[in-house]
Amino acid sequence: MKPILRAELAAALVVIVSTSAAFSHATLQHREASPNASYRGVVQITHGCNGEPTNRVSVTIPEGVIGAKPMPKPGWTLTTEKGPYAKAYPYYHGDISEGVKTITWSGGPLPDDQVDEFTFLARISDAFEPGVTVYFPVEQDCTRGTYHWSEIPSPGQDAHALKSPAPAVAIVAAQTRGPSRAASAPTGTIKAGDLAIDTPWMRATPGGATVAGGYVRISNTGQQADKLISASIPLAASGSIHSMTMDGGVMKMATVEGGLLLKPGETVELKPGGYHLMFEGLKASPKVGESISGNLVFERAGIVPVTFAVAPIGARAPNAPAAAEPSAGQHQH
């Protein structure tokens, strides 16, 4: 099968992912936060610049993160830049309309073979809804060399594809935090003729994203083959079936032309990194915890209504913990 890489997706998705995809030297220890709650930002510096020691770390506090206060560090000079916010935010005793925008620690130096943490406290305002990702760009200067960990994925793009990703924090609803949460109530198996359809789910997308992946497990219990031809949700202009393959170290998505074959007696799982439903032309962002009804269209079984449970951005499974991209943040040699 020759993958057909669709031009409009090539721009936004997966084209630069390879085994050498970037591992950031600057990450945030806590990768989840909730609206209207405090956030303890711990910037971890895990490497210098090509062997050179780090002597300056600067973090940008994004709009909507308010009341930021840095923690001083012995051996480092602390400076902050303050400025007006884009709007006033409700704060403990009234509105707050300005505050710290950047925090810089200068000094050290922190040798390349040591790690250190740079801490601030802030409050996540209600400007962020569960499902969005907030980015805290970090500049790292060394005796020689500098890194700007400031890249933010474009809509639909995988953060792993970035060379110097900004540390990211997933915004989750307060009650869904913690290890025991489930993304949503489990849905039972849907029977449609000879097909058994299990656990339709999709990932939340960052605000402004135009594409979203959908996943489902389908077993063909009958004697005849069927084909999954397309899918639809009201949020998206179109839905198709994609494959994902590695081609010379480059991950490529391609439309499965003619539909995805479901052989008798076999189970096909659409999951991250493999076959998936590709919803394009999103009019709104799927949000964590939502249930989105849609249709799967089969050659024989026809149109089957299903409900997609929305898991956190970047989730690997329908009820997996959120977005804390498992490999990001570890510099691997």
Here the tokens at position 244 are: 């994902």
Number of residues written out for the chain? 333
Binding to Cu ion by residue 253, rule CB under 5 A?
Answer: yes
Q: For residue 7, what are the contacts with CB-CB under 8 A and spacing of at least 6?
A: none
Site size toward Cu ion, by CB under 5 A: 3
Instruction: Measure the CA dihedral 312/317/320/324, to 10°.
Output: -60
The answer to whether residues 37 and 30 touch, using CB atoms and an 8 Å cutoff, is no
Distance (Å, rounded) from C-alpha 320 to C-alpha 201? 11
- Window contacting Cu ion (CB under 5 A); options: 33-41, 58-66, 108-116, 236-244: 236-244
Cβ closest to Cu ion, residue 125 vs residue 243: 243
Cβ closest to Cu ion, residue 9 vs residue 170: 9
Binding to Cu ion by residue 278, rule CB under 5 A?
Answer: yes
Q: How far apart are CB 236 and Cu ion at their closest, in Å?
A: 12
Cβ closest to Cu ion, residue 99 vs residue 156: 156
Cβ closest to Cu ion, residue 170 vs residue 253: 253
Among residues 242, 252, 306, 314, the one that binds Cu ion under rule CB under 5 A: 242
Q: How far apart are CB 74 and Cu ion at their closest, in Å?
A: 49
The answer to whether residues 99 and 84 touch, using CB atoms and an 8 Å cutoff, is no
Distance (Å, rounded) from C-alpha 70 to C-alpha 80? 8
- Window contacting Cu ion (CB under 5 A); options: 26-34, 215-223, 235-243, 263-271: 235-243
Q: How far apart are CB 311 and Cu ion at their closest, in Å?
A: 17
Binding to Cu ion by residue 231, rule CB under 5 A?
Answer: no
Cβ closest to Cu ion, residue 130 vs residue 156: 156
- Window contacting Cu ion (CB under 5 A); options: 65-73, 96-104, 241-249, 309-317: 241-249
Q: How far apart are CB 164 and Cu ion at their closest, in Å?
A: 25
The answer to whether residues 210 and 282 touch, using CB atoms and an 8 Å cutoff, is yes
Cβ closest to Cu ion, residue 123 vs residue 242: 242
Q: How far apart are CB 303 and Cu ion at their closest, in Å?
A: 22
Distance (Å, rounded) from C-alpha 116 to C-alpha 293? 46
Three-state SS for 27-76 is: EECCCEECCCEEEEEEEEECCCECCECEEEEEEECCCCEEEEEECCCCCE
Q: By the criterion CB under 5 A, which residues form the site for Cu ion? A: 242, 253, 278
